Amino acid sequence: MQPLSGLLVLDFTTLLPGPLATLMLAEAGAEVIKIERPGGEDMRRFPPQFDGEGAAYALLNRGKQGLTLDLKSEADRAKLKPLIARTDILVEQFRPGVMARLGLGYDEVATLNRKLIYCSISGYGQAGPRADEAGHDLNYIAATGLLDLQPGPIERPVVPPMLAADIGGGSFPAVINILLALRARDQSGQGCHLDIAMTDAMFTFGWYALALGAASGRFPKPGELMLAGGSPRYQLYPTKDGRIVACGALEQKFWLAFAQAIGLAPDYVDDTRDPEATREAVAKLIAARTADEWRPLLAQADCCATIVTPLEEALRDPHFVERGLFAHEVEVGHAKTLPAIPVPIAPQFRGKPGTKKAP
């Protein structure tokens, strides 16, 4: 039996943070009913489309049941009451106050079900001066100082390739706190309201910059943070053929092994004397050879240096394939089957590999 078998989840969320959170609950055995407005949520229409079905929607809502309701209709809202009365977990992602105006806020539904765990996911939380402010992932990492830590000169800012706020600030904290609330309910018999603000966890991602600022009174500027471009030991170096070596040789033993593998001159190995000169020397050496030339040398050195891999190649990596990351599948349209999104749930809790469809 999966650990969340027997639990019922009502999912009022759209797009990414909430749907990914409830997907993880579903993959661990919970029954998830996704509430959608007539016509369905916007993610259904996001490209690419297969037989009129959005691939991103299918990947995020695999294995859930669907229920179409117009929440602005009193009659449709009334249909929810018997469902809410037996629900264990409710997840919503509207702006603060919207569910309350619909008569579905925590105070209202708690009268129907005192054991209900009610999880609200929003950008800035349910209360505070910015609670009603619109935003997306980029805005949330911008407002919390995280984007200011980006490597490189400010004249060439880079949009991060991952949605840290949506997933790391929304989906993951939601699941963590839902599981904590289930444990608390086991002890007290009482549900609760979880206020998950995607911006809150962005300060957690800035842990090292916070430590530096607290200890020295000076917070790092863009490109200064050791783990964000401020050290030649933790850096991206282009190769001769336009690929990239990701160097993470922070510890001295790895740095010395890396320096030896690339033939770094002794004058530059001590990177405390002139970090920028060392970085330039390493960059020049890496740029002199192709990725295929560097790959065996770095592998033999075992020095925390990796050739950046395109996603389509990473999907074929024997290591990830053997670990079963892509064993689960999702049916999109009538004939298309795609690998399901790998979720951070231990295989013994996730259930047997198989193909499921979105509602």
What are the tens digits of pLDDT across the range 180-211? Answer: 999 999 999 999 999 999 999 999 999 999 99
CATH of the domain at 284: 3.30.1540.10
Domain assignment present for residue 3? The answer is no
Same structural domain, 173 and 33:
yes
Same structural domain, 180 and 274:
no
- Which pLDDT value is given to residue 229? 87
* Residue tagged active-site, from 76, 136, 200, 274: 136
Q: Is the pLDDT of residue 333 over 90?
A: no
Same structural domain, 55 and 98:
yes
Where is average pLDDT lowest: 112-126, 143-157, 287-301? Answer: 143-157
pLDDT tier at 337 (50, 70, 90 boundaries)? very high
Same structural domain, 74 and 184:
yes
Catalytic residue list contains 292: no
Mean pLDDT score, 61-74: 96
Question: Is 59 within 8 Å of 341 (Cβ atoms)?
Answer: yes
For 83, half-sphere exposure in the C-beta direction (CA atoms, 13 angstrom radius) is 19
Q: Is the pLDDT of residue 222 over 90?
A: no
Same structural domain, 76 and 32:
yes
Domain assignment present for residue 334? The answer is no
State the chain's mean pLDDT as an integer: 95
pLDDT tier at 139 (50, 70, 90 boundaries)? very high
HEC string of 208-251 equals HHHHHHHHHCCCCCCCCCHHHCCECCEEEEECCCCCEEEEECCC
Choose between 333 and 327: higher pLDDT.
327
Mean pLDDT score, 41-68: 94
- Which pLDDT value is given to residue 155? 66
Looking at 296, 312, 328, the residue that finishes a domain is: 312
Same structural domain, 291 and 169:
no
User: At 233, which amino acid appears?
Assistant: R
Same structural domain, 68 and 177:
yes
* Residue tagged active-site, from 11, 137, 148, 166: 166
Q: Is the pLDDT of residue 117 over 90?
A: yes
Question: Is 359 within 8 Å of 66 (Cβ atoms)?
Answer: yes
Mean pLDDT score, 328-357: 93
- Which pLDDT value is given to residue 30? 98
User: At 114, which amino acid appears?
Assistant: R
- Which pLDDT value is given to residue 158? 80
Q: State the total domains in the chain.
A: 2
Q: Using a pLDDT cut of 70, give the percent of the chain over it.
A: 99
* CA dist., res. 157 & res. 154, Å (int): 5
Q: Is the pLDDT of residue 152 over 90?
A: no
Mean pLDDT score, 311-328: 95
Which residues form the domain of 100?
A: 8-199
Domain assignment present for residue 86? The answer is yes
End-to-end CA distance of the chain: 23
- Which pLDDT value is given to residue 140? 97
Q: Is the pLDDT of residue 154 over 80?
A: no
Question: Is 245 within 8 Å of 294 (Cβ atoms)?
Answer: yes
* Residues near 298 by beta carbon (within 8 Å), at least 6 away in sequence: 245, 258, 261, 305, 306, 307
- Which pLDDT value is given to residue 153? 60
Q: Is the pLDDT of residue 52 over 90?
A: no
Strands (E), 37-127: 49-50, 53-54, 65-68, 89-92, 117-122
Q: What are the Cα distances from residue 3, in Å, to 26, 258, 325?
A: 11, 44, 20
* CA dist., res. 230 & res. 109, Å (int): 50
3 state DSSP class of 8: strand
User: At 134, which amino acid appears?
Assistant: A
Same structural domain, 183 and 248:
no
Strands (E), the chain: 8-11, 31-36, 49-50, 53-54, 65-68, 89-92, 117-122, 192-197, 234-238, 244-248, 305-307, 329-332, 336-339, 355-357
Q: What are the Cα distances from residue 282, in Å, to 69, 261, 293?
A: 59, 11, 15
Question: Is 59 within 8 Å of 24 (Cβ atoms)?
Answer: no
Residue 167 is encoded by which pair of tokens?
């997933």
Looking at 292, 312, 332, the residue that finishes a domain is: 312
Catalytic residue list contains 166: yes
- Which pLDDT value is given to residue 335? 81
3 state DSSP class of 124: coil
Same structural domain, 165 and 292:
no
For 186, half-sphere exposure in the C-beta direction (CA atoms, 13 angstrom radius) is 6
Domain assignment present for residue 340? The answer is no
Same structural domain, 48 and 182:
yes
Looking at 199, 223, 251, the residue that finishes a domain is: 199
pLDDT tier at 1 (50, 70, 90 boundaries)? confident
Same structural domain, 74 and 190:
yes
